[in-house]
Amino acid sequence: MTTETRHAPTGRLLRSQVRYHNYIFWRTPVSAFFTLIFPVLLFVIFALVFGNERIDALGISVAQYFAPSIAVFAAASASYTNLAINTAYQRDLGILKRVRGTPLPRWIYVAGKVVVAVLVGAIATGVLLAIGFVFYDLQIAVSRVPAMVVAFLVGSAAFSALGMMVAAFTSSGESATAIAQATLLPLAFFSGNFFVSTDLPSWLARLADIFPLKHFNEAFMSPFDPATTGSGFEWLDLAIMAVWGIGGAILTARYFRWE
């Protein structure tokens, strides 16, 4: 990078960082597999095991429940897990230190990472929902699509902030990997991503209410629920996710280390 970088338009700088981080993501097959392929395999396995029968407790089919819930897991994995792990490893390798020594504004570098994480999550979500629509009769009212999109964006932004927070508080890529995996997977189990939430013990359901993944799940799934009335926006769930995201962003800005 040269001094011209300092005077380049912000939009051009951001686009260049998006291209760079997108290239890095697709050059890491493990990340691509667990973010894109693994959720699809989960959904297909669930559909094969349980069929597409009606879930009596919810009054919807298996696909109508698990397609959006596993899509939420994929979006959270793309933003939270990938950002935490990749950022921590980049710090270990000295990449972040070198970036700090360039004229590139630091927020542009971080914004490029976040934009790619959200885009990858959108691809994973789109693939899962497309499979549901084409093969499993997944349905959503057109009037509720905006609620689905807003839930995805708010949830992805919140988990991106939390992923960067994990990178800020961990000392190495190995510890970031352990923490990210050890927090997201258990949350997915008792937030309703892999099991119908009504089957959980009441104390575990109350515990899940504290964390943002359940609220991401419920806000995103609401537009797919035939029992939902109105536009499908779950404002309380969106607000709770926003609070988590803002808190994660504040802590990241305060404690993030570039080396």
Q: Which helix (H) or strand (E) holds 54?
A: strand 54-55
The model's confidence at residue 159, banded by pLDDT at 50, 70 and 90, is very high
The model's confidence at residue 1, banded by pLDDT at 50, 70 and 90, is very low
**What is the spatial distance between Cα 163 and Cα 31, in angstroms, rounded to a whole number?**
15
Task: Give residue 225's domain range.
Answer: 4-255
Q: Is the pLDDT of residue 158 over 90?
A: yes
Span 40-61, pLDDT tens digits: 999 988 888 877 788 877 788 8
Tell me what pLDDT residue 8 has.
Answer: 65
| Average confidence (pLDDT) over 152-165 | 97
Span 216-230, pLDDT tens digits: 999 999 999 988 888
Between helix 62-76 and helix 212-221 the angle, nearest 10°, is 130
239 CA to centre of own chain: 16
| Average confidence (pLDDT) over 101-105 | 89
**Average pLDDT score, the chain:** 90
**What is the spatial distance between Cα 39 and Cα 185, in angstroms, rounded to a whole number?**
12
Whole-Å CA distances, 230 to 58, 142, 223: 18, 12, 9
Tell me what pLDDT residue 34 has.
Answer: 82
Number of structural domains in the chain: 1
Tell me what pLDDT residue 199 has.
Answer: 67
